[in-house]
Structure 1
Amino acid sequence: MTDRISSKADVLKSLYGKLKYSRVEKLKIVTGAELDADPYGLAAEIAEEFAGGYIVVRSSSSNEDGLNTSNAGHYESILGVDPSDGEAVVRAVREVLDSYKCDLDDVSGEQVLIQRQITNISYSGVIFSREIKKDRPYYTITYDDSSTDAVTSGRGGKTVYIIRNVDCDELPANWAALIRSMRELEEMHPEYPLDVEFAIDEDNTVTIFQMRPLAASINGVHSDVDDEEVFRTVLEAEDTYREISSLVGDRNTILSDMAFWNPAEIIGENPHPLDYSLYREIITSAAWNQGLSYIGYREVDGDLMYKLGNKPYISLKKSFLGLMPDELDDRLEAKLLKYYDKKLIDDPTAHDKIEFEIAFSEYDFSTEDKLGTLTEAGFTREEIADLSDSLFNLTNNAICNFNRNRMKDLRALNGLRVHRENTRSNWLMAHNDVVTLIQYFVQLIESIKHYGTPKFARQARLAFISKAISRSLVYRGYFTDKEIDDFMMSIYTVASEYDSDFQDLVDGRITRVTFDEKYGHLRSGTYDITCETYAQREFDLSKGSAAARKQRQTIEELKHNPLDSVKLMEALEDIGFYVDLREFLDFLKDSMEEREFFKFEFTKTLSLAIDILIDIGDKLGISKEDMAYLEVPDIQLMVNRPAEFTGDIWRKIIDQNKKKFQRASMLILPDVIYDPLQLKCIEIWEARPNFITSECVTGDILLLENYENEDHEDVADVQDKIVVLPKADPGYDWIFAKGIKGFITKYGGVASHMAIRCAEFNIPAAIGCGDCIYSFVEKQQTVTLDCAHGKITKGV
């Protein structure tokens, strides 16, 4: 291969006429010397050889396509040149040659490639023979279906990953044709991984525009996991998916990493075993439904969350069931489930918005209009009326009983606090052995499950209803977007309080001890044992944030600026809920405050349980990084076991789980899955971000994940920056006290924690951008975040 890959033009010449599964367009190679010697004679030859249609004049520099660097897209290529226009041909060739001069002094021996510009293209793009970030055994296809150079020019592109050992007969016809052609090229050039530019026409004929060594893979990071292990792990994931489908009662059940309880946002797409099992144990195993069934939703048995490889997924069937009013009859329930499934599969980008765009889970000012669309899906008037009545009754009862349920839940939360503080005192005041500490841990987890998370789940659902009603007030025309944005900012939650207290800490009005007593339990990864608590960090208090102070002042002013009572009374009379104006307004405000308060409180107990687990590890000589590979059942099983065996047993489990985790980390998995083939052919849909506020800001971005293992406050100056983060765990609340300009996340839903935070502080945000948009953003220095028009563009 080193002899034959010398230039783009030479490679294509060597392939011309020799390929079975693809083709190379007729080509002509010209040099700088030939152009200088007889430019118009050369143009006449090109006109004769390529008469009819258009040509593309492409770079083929000696400085491209090397083993160490590709310089992909570095030099000019000119599309749509009329070969009969000699001036245009000469100008295009010269322009390409001139683009080489930024790197080369002498271009007389350099090549320019002339080919006919093909038409009837359905897909065009680039395929790599391996995934380059982790050197995983996946063909990586970045393509566009509207332009021949959108991918190579960096203007766009969708992505598909295909496992290298896939049977082409399983694939869609277009990708099957491309993989067959790629395998043929690999057989001809087996020495190195390949980077191939291609087009596929309407008949699925593949045309090769370029082939070169995949320099990024040759010189990149190489995994210790061999390809065969990855292939086996994919098969295991397929088996697991089928088992989940059987458990749920579907042939091919729908799973999502961001629906409903959005695990990808909270614990990430590749969480350690402990993170995943903690989240499952205290929320998705039962608490999520216990909280909802109490206020009138359907009771659902079994886990909500499952795992393929290391990636957490939410069951859409159980989500949809859990969001249905309990008074619906079984027949209508089954019909709705079928409708919801179809709607999600028709638009997978709605998977993080199911409560807003797919499921009917509450009654607000837009509900009747949305229900009206069900007639087109075959629902009868009687069925629609039954659904409307059940949604109204559920929502009305939730609002009417809000204060009573809140007081009951607050009493339970107090029980959680008492148990936590008693455990903390016993832990700190006595010399505890490993057996006792394990008992503390298990008891704390059980306390959270009993007193904490079912109540939090209920308050979170009530807050969702409140937010949906508030936004629908704009839909019905009672209020403007800005009025509702201001209303959201007027809600004084724990985050507002944190912002205020942090400024007091900066300004010296409170001590660090006082601050830590209140917020010291927070972690940037709430469920992640490897993350330090706020109390363990050093904050940079040397400079205050003028922007944060201004933000705080705005919030203070808006606290006394509620929604117009006359308009709100008119709206209340229109919708017909059985509460007076004061009760209605209290529900809209207090439900959102309580959601954040309940989360804040139960995570105190969770943080203590994690601290005790770290202490257990210290006593056994196991680091917290290794403890992350345990699961909650591994800890529970050792409650009454002799302490001398615990360390040895856990070390064996940790070793096994590490190896399993490493293998599973090599998988590429979709955001949404409803067919086992999606584990082999993974299409990355371009997500629809959830835009918060109606503001438009331009600013420098700051990739906060670059500082994930460091003290954020010391390293990252986030003031006046647009902060970019893959997942937005509540432990990142500190950024809201720093005067940030905007916020962008890869994962997150419209009702997620960070969406609520940004609305509360009126911070422009795009929550849940997905892989494609996030990849674009992280490559930029400056972006414009236009929330009003739902766009993120390169800043100027």
Structure 2
Amino acid sequence: MRGKMDGARAFEFGTKSETLARLSALVSSAVVLPLVSFTVAEWQHDPGTVLAEIRGRPWSGDPLVVRSSGRDEDQSAFSNAGRYLSETDVRGQDELVAAIGRVVASYDVFLPNNQVFVQPQLADSLASGVVSSCEPSCGAPYRVVNWADGPDTTAVTSGRATVRTWYFLDGAAHPPVPWLARIPELVRELESLSRRPFEFEFGVAADGTLVLFQMRLLAKPGKPVPRVRHRDAVAECRRRLHRLWQAQTPALGPETVFGVMPDWNPAEMIGIRPRPLALSLYRTLITDEVWAESRHRYGYRDLRGAPLLIDLHGLPYIDTRASFSSLVPASVPDDTAERLVTGYVRKLRQNPHLHDKVEFTIALSSYHFTIAERAAELVRDGVLSRAESTELVHSLRNVTTRMMSEIGPYRRDLGEIEQLRRLPLHRPETFRPKRISALVHLCKRAGTLPFSGIARAAFAATSVVRSLVELGVLSPEDGDALLSSSQVASAALQRDFAELSRSAFLRRYGHLRPGTYDILSPRYDEDPARYFDWSRPAANGAHSPGFLPGIGQMRELRRLMAEHRLPGTAHELLRFIVQSVAAREYSKLQFSRVVSEILVDAKRAGEWLGFTPDDMSYTRVEDLCGLTGDHQRDKAALRAAIESARYRHEITETLCAPVVLSDPDELVSFATMADEANFVTQGRVIAPVADVSAGDDPAGCVAMISAADPGYDWIFTRGIRGLITAFGGANSHMAIRALELGIPAAIGVGEAQFTRLLYADVLEVDAASKLVRPSAGAGVRIRETGAA
């Protein structure tokens, strides 16, 4: 064993066992379990001597761990994480001999100086995990801790568990659980030894002591980030949040919470770190003005003048105070409305896991058959008085019945969308700068504005169905069947793919692209082979007749409508449900045609001025609408805008923040929620889906496996283009391998989302934007052609 090294000397990494042996004499903020290390040659030549040395240790009678320590593991260019075997819970000499033999056999190339080492197994571990000294994919100066509770010390690296992640910057650690408070000191101590980014595996003993299992250099870490620029960007975001937390008229309430999913779902639609063009297009077409104008037209509180989406150095967040305020009926008195919004915000702050379902679990935004029970919760929580809750329910009934009326705003919006459908979009042969402004105006007034109202009606219809399921009038299967009978747009796409010629199909659907607002996402007609397998037999696109209610169900529905004093008949209500949900899909198809045309003209503007589509993704809509037609002047202005935005976006791509922001301090220290995906690399890919467990060949595909298990390492030999797992963390073996090979990956997306994604034909994995989205292909419904 080497003596303690001079602190001025650079620490020398060796094999896994050599590194641990050296660290045991240097580290004071963690312990290294004792070990016996030997080479493959020593074992094969004289196993008795090796066993005698192990038996001579006082811990030899305890459960043991036998670990690989290959010469090609934990190197600066590659880690081979999980490639070779380690054995746990080894008891007795016979098991020990067998375990060593299996570890030796796992080396696929015989090298006599490959090593194996044996340690006592950590008993009664409270938790275990992996820590990176920087964010591995982008090199940002966050310390990244992946951990899992429980005695399984391989839970994180094996990818078989639900993993939590803690990000923190130096000097700003607010550990989410008490035992993590010791991690920052250990990181600093190890950083004083290593001159390069590194990661280490650890366990937590029953008394809270950290146990160091392994330390290695980060193989191919992200490009180092200028720390001053990163620090300044974080400080800018914190200052902005402090200002935004103050009262913001016309939004109600003293404080707010920001999220990436509540209301219009920017995380789903444009990603966590969208390029400037996608972000500005989304804001211009929807979240700056249109969202509030539409709700005002439907009888909700007037929030015109208040933006819904805020931009934190390129990270899009929804201001839930504005969102909640806009969902209060206009007839509700100001003081009641303010207490209502304050209560909504407080509930979200206390239950951040509800961020992607706020209208089903927090806000009351439309009338349905269980609305009285939901309103009673507000009384129990002290948000409203009984009289005020009754008044709220009455106001929601008026808004909703007006919405369903034949002369209400929903019918008007349907008419406007139909006018847009009939409007031809003639594309001139030569690029005309002023056309972009005209298209933006057209899309707002005739596309996204009516679509916003139609989407609001569809949400109200969905709420009615959920309430009928809750009351037992419909079974969950009946509710699904009723809503799925509305999917006429997706059924039409499937039918047309089966029946139309390729050219006719692309004339009708060619404008669609997986990323509706993303210039870098090819349209169907720009790269059809990417999205559709034209060689395979097409599904016939037959559409099921949908849900047919029974006599008893109709009787109960009529009774409920009479009890709740809803106008119209039960048949009319069911027709509204089916038609409104279908209209939402249909209107997405129509307005996305104009959005796609805007992006086509943006690309043509780039060609005219000598810029690539990638260059143009750094422009903003305002830049494009400001083009004058003066080639020299426009080129200079756009070049300056692109260079400035690209420079700023470099830092945007290194910012890490929680999906729900309740405090500015969470920009410097936060833990992710369970089932929140970990994205690996900054890459992007669009490719077919391969369900590896079902036997699909993953070559050239986005490989999907349930757990980030190193047993699937073979898939990397097949030339996969992307990787998605249901479970695991960013430091699982599979994640590390994907990082080393530059394969975009989403690790640990959660079981529910994983199952949904399996139904797609083609997926886009955009790791930089932290986004996974399906693309509509044959047999798959259109999942994203507009807002949800």
Under a length normalisation based on structure 2, what TM-score does the superposition of the two structures give? 0.77
For residues 114 and 534 of structure 1, do their structure 2 counterparts lie closer, same or farther at Cα, with a shift above 3 Å needed? closer
- Hey, what does 2:785 align to over in structure 1? none
- Aligned with 1:14: secondary structure? helix
Question: What's the counterpart of residue 74 of structure 2?
Answer: 65
Cα displacement string for residues 15-36 of structure 1 (whole angstroms, at most 9, x for unaligned residues): 3354333333455556775883
SS at match of 1:215: coil
Q: CA deviation at 1:2?
A: 9.0
The residue that corresponds to 2:596 in the other structure is: 607
- Determine helix, strand or coil for the equivalent of 2:216: strand
> What aligned pairs does 1:191-230 form with structure 2 within 5 A after superposition?
192-200=196-204, 205-217=209-221, 222-223=222-223, 225-230=225-230
**Aligned in 2, Cα 1:325/1:117: closer, same or farther, shift over 3 Å?**
same
Distance 1:150-1:777 versus aligned 2 partners, 3 A rule? farther
Describe the superposition over 1:541-565 as per-residue Cα deviations: whole angstroms up to 9, x where unpaired.
753535x22xx22x1x415x53335
Q: In structure 1, what is the equivalent of residue 684 of structure 2?
A: none
Q: Offset of 1:536 from its aligned partner?
A: 3.3
- The structural deviation recorded for 1:49 is 4.8
Give the alignment partner of residue 339 of structure 1, picking from 340, 343, 349.
343
CA distance in 1, matches of 2:560, 2:523: 48
Aligned residue in 2 for 1:6: 14
TM-aligned CA deviation for residue 280 of structure 1: 0.5
- Equivalent pairs, count: 699
1:215 maps to amino acid: A
Correspondence for 1:468: 463
What letter matches 1:156 in structure 2? A
Q: What is the correspondence of 1:43-442 to structure 2 with a 5 Å cutoff? A: 44-46=55-57, 48-49=58-59, 56-62=65-71, 64-80=73-89, 88=92, 91-92=95-96, 94-103=98-107, 105=110, 110-115=115-120, 117-119=122-124, 121-146=125-150, 147-160=152-165, 162-168=167-173, 174-190=179-195, 192-200=196-204, 205-217=209-221, 222-223=222-223, 225-246=225-246, 248=248, 253-300=256-303, 301-379=305-383, 380-399=385-404, 401-402=405-406, 404-413=408-417, 416=420, 421=424, 424-425=425-426, 428=428, 437-442=432-437
Q: d(CA) in 2 for partners of 1:747 and 1:54?
A: 34
3-state SS of 2:155 partner: coil
Alpha-carbon distance in structure 2 between the residues aligned to 1:373 and 1:89: 63
Q: 1:115 is aligned with what amino acid?
A: P
State the 1:297 CA deviation. 2.0
| Distance of 1:745 and 1:471 partners within structure 2 | 32
Tell me the equivalent position of 1:692. none
Q: Is residue 558 of structure 1 aligned with residue 553 of structure 2?
A: no
1:567 aligns with 2:553: yes
Paired residues for 1:689-768 under 5 Å: 699=694
Instruction: Give the deviation of 1:409 after TM superposition.
Output: 1.9
Read off the aligned partner of 2:369 and give its amino acid letter: F
Determine whether 1:19 maps to 2:27: yes
Structure 1 position 42, deviation (Å): 5.0
Q: CA offsets per residue over residues 733-773 of structure 1, 9 Å max, x none?
A: xxxxxxxxxxx99999x9x9x99xx89xx9699x99999xx
SS at match of 1:125: strand
On the 8 A contact 1:627/1:654 being kept in 2, the answer is yes
Residues of 1 paired with 2:435 and 2:568: CA distance?
A: 44
Q: Is residue 671 of structure 2 the alignment partner of residue 683 of structure 1?
A: yes
What do residues 658-677 of structure 1 show as CA deviations (whole Å, max 9, x unaligned)? 11112211222322222222
Match of 2:584 among 577, 585, 595: 595
Q: CA deviation at 1:170?
A: 8.7
TM-score (norm 1): 0.77
Distance across 2 between alignment mates of 1:25 and 1:723: 35
What's the CA shift for 1:414?
A: 5.0
Q: 1:58 to 1:623 in 2, by over 3 A?
A: closer
Is the 8 Å Cα contact of residues 327 and 365 (structure 2) preserved in structure 1?
yes
| Structure 1 residue 706: Cα displacement | 6.3
Amino acid at match of 1:263: P
Calculate the aligned-residue CA RMSD, in Å: 4.3
In structure 1, the gaps of 5 or more residues are: 83-87, 690-695, 709-721, 727-743, 779-796
CA distance in 2, matches of 1:3, 1:41: 31
CA gap 1:141/1:157 in 2 versus in 1, 3 angstroms: farther
Letter in 1 for 2:559: E
Query: Offset at 1:361?
Result: 1.7
Q: Deviations over 1:305-324 (max 9, x none)?
A: 11223221111111211222
CA gap of 1:538–1:81, structure 2 versus 1, over 3 A, is closer
State the percentage of identical aligned residues: 25
1:207-229 deviation line (CA, Å, top 9, x unaligned): 22222222343xxxx43753443
Question: Which residue of structure 1 lines up, in the alignment, with residue 706 of structure 2?
Answer: none
Secondary structure, aligned partner of 1:536: coil
Unpaired segments ≥5 residues, structure 2: 1-8, 678-690, 704-721, 727-745, 775-788
Tell me the secondary structure at the aligned position of residue 130 of structure 2: strand
CA shift at 1:153, angstroms?
2.6
1:501 aligns with 2:510: no
The C-alpha deviation readout for 1:323-357, integer Å capped at 9, x for no partner, is 22233333333333333233323332321111112
Structure 1 residue 143 displacement after superposition? 0.7
| Structure that is richer in helix per residue | 1
CA distance in 2, matches of 1:238, 1:22: 34
Match of 1:662 among 628, 635, 650: 650
SS of alignment partner, residue 152 of structure 1: helix
- Structure 1 residue corresponding to 2:615, chosen from 626, 632, 648: 626
AA at the equivalent of 2:96:
A
Aligned to 2:214, the other structure's residue is in SS state strand
Structure 2 counterpart of 1:583, from 550, 562, 572: 572
Are 1:449 and 2:444 an aligned pair?
yes
The answer as to whether partners of 1:142 and 1:157 remain within 8 angstroms in 2 is no
| Partners of 2:463 and 2:407 in 1: CA distance | 19
- TM-superposed deviation, 1:127: 0.8
* Paired residue type of 2:638: W
- The farther-off stretch of 162-171 and 351-360 is 162-171
Match of 1:674 among 659, 662, 670: 662
Q: Residue 359 and residue 602 in structure 1: after superposition, are their counterparts in 2 closer, same or farther (change >3 A)?
A: same
Residues 246 and 402 of structure 1: is their aligned pair in 2 closer, same or farther, counting only changes over 3 Å? farther
Deviation at 1:359, TM superposition (A): 1.7
Cα gap change, 1:763/1:56 in structure 2, threshold over 3 Å: closer, same or farther? closer
Look up the match of 1:521: 511
Q: Distance in 2 between matches of 1:117 and 1:683?
A: 26
- Alignment pair present for 1:478 and 2:467: no
2:247–2:255 CA contact under 8 A, matched in 1: no
Query: Structure 1 residues 197-206 or 128-137, which shifts more?
Result: 197-206
Change in Cα spacing, 1:592 to 1:347, as seen in structure 2 (3 Å) is: same
Give, in angstroms, the shift of residue 591 of structure 1: 0.5
CA distance in 1, matches of 2:623, 2:444: 18
CA 1:648–1:397: 2 relative to 1, 3 Å: same
Cα distance change, pair 535–171 in 1 and its aligned pair in 2 (3 A): closer
The 1:76–1:697 alpha-carbon spacing in structure 2 relative to 1, beyond 3 Å, is closer
Deviations 1:623-670 (A, max 9, x none): 33322222122233445x856422211111111111111221122232
Structure 1's 100 and 545: CA in aligned 2 closer, same or farther, altered over 3 A? same
Q: How much has 1:89 moved relative to structure 2?
A: 5.0
Letter matched to residue 295 of structure 1: Y
Partners of 1:445 and 1:493 in 2: CA distance:
27
